[in-house]
Structure 1
Amino acid sequence: MARFALGAKARDAGYRLAGFDSIGSTNSEALAAAAAGDPGGIWFAALQQTAGRGRRGREWHSPHGNLAASLLVVPDASPDTIATLGFVAGVALNAGLSAILPGGMVRIGIDGADGADGRSRIALKWPNDVLADGAKLAGILLETTKTADGRQAVIIGIGVNVVAAPEGVPYPATSLQALGVARSAEDVFEALSDAWVDAFSLWNDGQGVGAVLTRWRGAAAGIGAPVAISQDGVVRRGIFETIDSSGRLIIRDDDGARHPITAGDVHFGATASARS
């Protein structure tokens, strides 16, 4: 039975929580709450999703014991700025994992040649994944909807592979259990809820986007390394230079030209040259 609890910072900040043992989709629950007029600041957390989804409508596998969590917020910010909440979630998730994982597992620092693909550490992968030893540990999904009074509500969905990673997916995946970490989904959620308070405060209705992106870059996988971006069957290759002030991935091609990328599937290191 699920025993989810908010962290002390989250409770003090006025966040609310609805916890479930199993649910169809925490994002769907949050969307329904927004439609019903909830003012935001509520988490929906579950040990299992039976109808979860990821980016571009892909299925998100979430067996019992993994964490599925969605947060409904109604920020006072422009639509373009609201899109950067994915980076806020990445910073919060990285910080939350840092708080509960063994020392040395989460390293902070821009990647160079060593560990450039995220291996041997936990790192943020553009635009919305968390890697551990180069494999996907967690993912983030943003969805938006309009409130009755015309404001934009945002649902930040976060899935963490706690006890098991999906099989038969086109990318390497891992779990905390596979990494030898004996922490529960409830542990991860409590740490995440507190880390979110700090990251969201830093974002400050979009006024602190620059500070959030700086923190995100500091925990990023692949900066300075070869990267391949697949967009609708077309692959662009180059060096991952940075993410810009809007959160776009900037790659430099062999001719030295820099290209901003707003969406696509990202592959680092050896896979950057091997995948098409």
Structure 2
Amino acid sequence: MGFVLAPTCVSEGFRLEAHDKVGSTNALALERARDGDPGRLWIVSKQQDSGRGRRGRAWATPPGNLAATLLLVTGGDLRTAATLGFVAGLALADALNAAVPNGRFAIAPDGGSGAGRKRFELKWPNDVLAEGAKLAGILLESSVLGQDRCAIAVGIGVNVVAYPDDVPYPATSLRALGATCEAETLFLALSDAWSENARLWNEGRGLTEIRRRWLSRAAGLGSQVAVRVDGNVVRGVFETIDEDCRFVIRDDRGDVLTIAAGDVHFGAVASAGAA
């Protein structure tokens, strides 16, 4: 089958642009916005060769994996739009649960928050884990269009058939975990789950419920973490995310620290030091 949108998504005015291969779905989405696209456009591919992750890191997508970007054009403030990353995480977790049959995964990589607690967990701020290993990443990028309009590219990359082996953290793919789901099937479920979670988010008015749902799937909640922030490593217990979805930890002195951006490490890495 090819890529298709869920009927709920079509009924809400979303459109689809599918490719066999692209440079970057995020870059293409922002290009469409600058050319006048009104948004609500999904751009998808099973291969991209110049994708990006957080902090400019490369994120290649070999054939068979899923690269998807939703372009939204909004007049709202960027602070509220930034919380769409949590909407995307919830939508992807819902889609994975719908598209991947129940059953125990074939392997349980080390280094996560405790294998078996949930099949898919959300790691602050933008990863989806499967039994402790990174399965997917989310990247939001924006571009000011003028006249109080802004383009938001919600990029989602999923390791469906392959995962990188040259990264400093555990990674996995659906295939490595014993699942037979294809990129097209997962995207169909994702487009449906996005509509449901975006309605709940309600332009930011429903962020309290999004936060509650996100925390119910949070990886490492209540455990020791190490967070690399601007070259420094902060350690403590992951307590919650606040009303603005910032990471909140309590350090060894009992002080509460709120972190807006950083790289989070769990388990043995948190104890020994964040690489």
TM-score (norm 1): 0.93
Q: Where do residues 191-206 of structure 1 align in structure 2 (5 Å cutoff)?
A: 191-206=189-204
Q: Identity over aligned residues, as a percent?
A: 55
Aligned to 1:61, the other structure's residue is in SS state: coil
Aligned to 2:108: none
Shift of 1:147: 2.2
Q: Distance in 2 between matches of 1:76 and 1:35?
A: 15
Aligned to 1:111: none
Aligned to 1:220, the other structure's residue is in SS state: coil
How many pairs were matched up?
267
Letter in 2 for 1:211: E
Deviation per CA, 1:194-250: give whole Å up to 9, x if none: 000011111111111111111111111011000000123211000000000001010
Aligned to 2:245, the other structure's residue is in SS state: coil
Q: Which runs of 4+ in 1 moved over 4 A?
A: none
Q: Distance in 2 between matches of 1:265 and 1:119?
A: 21
Instruction: Give the CA RMSD over aligned residues.
Output: 1.6
Are 1:52 and 2:73 an aligned pair? no
Q: Distance in 2 between matches of 1:105 and 1:76?
A: 44
Aligned to 1:109: none
Q: Distance in 1 between matches of 2:79 and 2:123?
A: 21
Q: Distance in 2 between matches of 1:54 and 1:61?
A: 9
Aligned to 2:128: 130
Q: Where do residues 36-185 of structure 1 align in structure 2 (5 Å cutoff)?
A: 36-103=35-102, 117-120=113-116, 121-185=119-183
TM-score (norm 2): 0.93
Aligned to 1:146, the other structure's residue is in SS state: strand
Are 1:241 and 2:269 an aligned pair? no
Letter in 1 for 2:245: G
Shift of 1:149: 3.1
Aligned partners of 1:105 and 1:122 also within 8 Å: no
Aligned to 2:186: 188
Q: Distance in 2 between matches of 1:242 and 1:212?
A: 13
Q: Distance in 1 between matches of 2:104 and 2:86?
A: 21
Aligned to 1:32: 31
Shift of 1:269: 2.0
Q: Where do residues 199-238 of structure 1 align in structure 2 (5 Å cutoff)?
A: 199-238=197-236
Structure 2 residues not aligned, in runs of 5+: 106-110
Q: Distance in 2 between matches of 1:154 and 1:119?
A: 34
Deviation per CA, 1:40-96: give whole Å up to 9, x if none: 100000000011110010000210000000000123432211110100101111111
Aligned to 1:112: none
Aligned to 1:255, the other structure's residue is in SS state: coil
Shift of 1:152: 1.4
Shift of 1:105: 5.9
Structure 1 residues not aligned, in runs of 5+: 107-114
Shift of 1:153: 1.4
Q: Distance in 1 between matches of 2:142 and 2:216?
A: 27
